[in-house]
Structure 1
């Protein structure tokens, strides 16, 4: 079992890697950064088109009125479409717009290029170890998602 110190360091590095990568990709794409909460909503909707606002709130562990505000802002920005559920008009279903899909694809291209460039600066064993960790990080993500 890893030490508490090793686990804390791992968590800190992951957090900083995420923040730095996000800032650099946004700068590289020459766009204003979306708030992290809006990005989370977009990722959920991309993974599950037609998800309800109520389900987004449950998954994010946030209040429905908070999600309503996020959805309104994303809709106003042209990144999210909301439609009433034909079977229950009280339910709002969410979908990405073409602008959101384009923006997310553009972000992915810039992120991949930035990571490729950074990985190229590492020695081959370090680069290989990092890339080999991806399936294990996916498993960790799955384990974390399964926990309440």
Structure 2
């Protein structure tokens, strides 16, 4: 029988790592920090330029009005552009501003440097264990995403 505490320990550890990474990255910011949902939306728009609000809501598993609120805040903050869809004048298409693209690139660089610095402090066996766990963690992410898309 699988250890009954494993799922809880895994979830707690992943959340703790994510929280600590976010906290460390907040330090030294010269611009107002973005909330997690705002960053997720910017990353989605970066990956899918021109995405509509309803498609973004589905991809992020958020209510459409929640994404509309995020879009309004990010447009006001100069992070997103909202353009009218030429195929459907009622729909909006979302694009990153240059400032947002630079901000995401900086965030990715800072995050990679932070994690690399801390991973390098682990011994070789622990680094290899983390590397070996990546495929299983990716599969876990896929199954969680797929379950979220089920009706």
**TM surpasses 0.5:** yes
**Offset from partner CA, 1:107-129 (integer Å, 9 cap, x none):** 11111111111011111100111
Q: Does 1:15 align with 2:15?
A: yes
What is the alpha-carbon distance in structure 1 between the residues aligned to residue 75 and residue 45 of structure 2?
Answer: 13
**Offset from partner CA, 1:98-143 (integer Å, 9 cap, x none):** 1111111101111111111101111110011112222222222122
What is the alpha-carbon distance in structure 2 between the residues aligned to residue 2 and residue 87 of structure 1?
Answer: 53
1:89-108 paired onto structure 2 within 5 Å: 89-108=89-108
What is the alpha-carbon distance in structure 1 between the residues aligned to residue 120 and residue 27 of structure 2?
Answer: 20
What is the alpha-carbon distance in structure 2 between the residues aligned to residue 5 and residue 145 of structure 1?
Answer: 23
User: Counterpart in 2 of 1:117?
Assistant: 117
What is the alpha-carbon distance in structure 2 between the residues aligned to residue 107 and residue 115 of structure 1?
Answer: 12
User: Counterpart in 1 of 2:46?
Assistant: 46
Give the deviation of 1:32 after TM superposition: 3.3
User: Counterpart in 1 of 2:141?
Assistant: 141
Alignment: residue pair count:
148
Give the deviation of 1:31 after TM superposition: 4.3
Would you say the 8 A contact 1:29–1:106 is kept in 2? no
Would you say the 8 A contact 1:26–1:107 is kept in 2? no
Q: CA RMSD in A?
A: 1.6
Structure 1, unaligned runs of 5 or more? none
What is the alpha-carbon distance in structure 1 between the residues aligned to residue 145 and residue 132 of structure 2?
Answer: 21
Give the deviation of 1:3 after TM superposition: 2.8
Q: Provide the secondary structure at the position in 1 that maps to 2:90.
A: coil
What is the alpha-carbon distance in structure 2 between the residues aligned to residue 103 and residue 3 of structure 1?
Answer: 42
Structure 2, unaligned runs of 5 or more? none
Structure-2 change in CA distance of 1:21 and 1:15 (3 Å): same
Q: Provide the secondary structure at the position in 2 that maps to 1:33.
A: coil
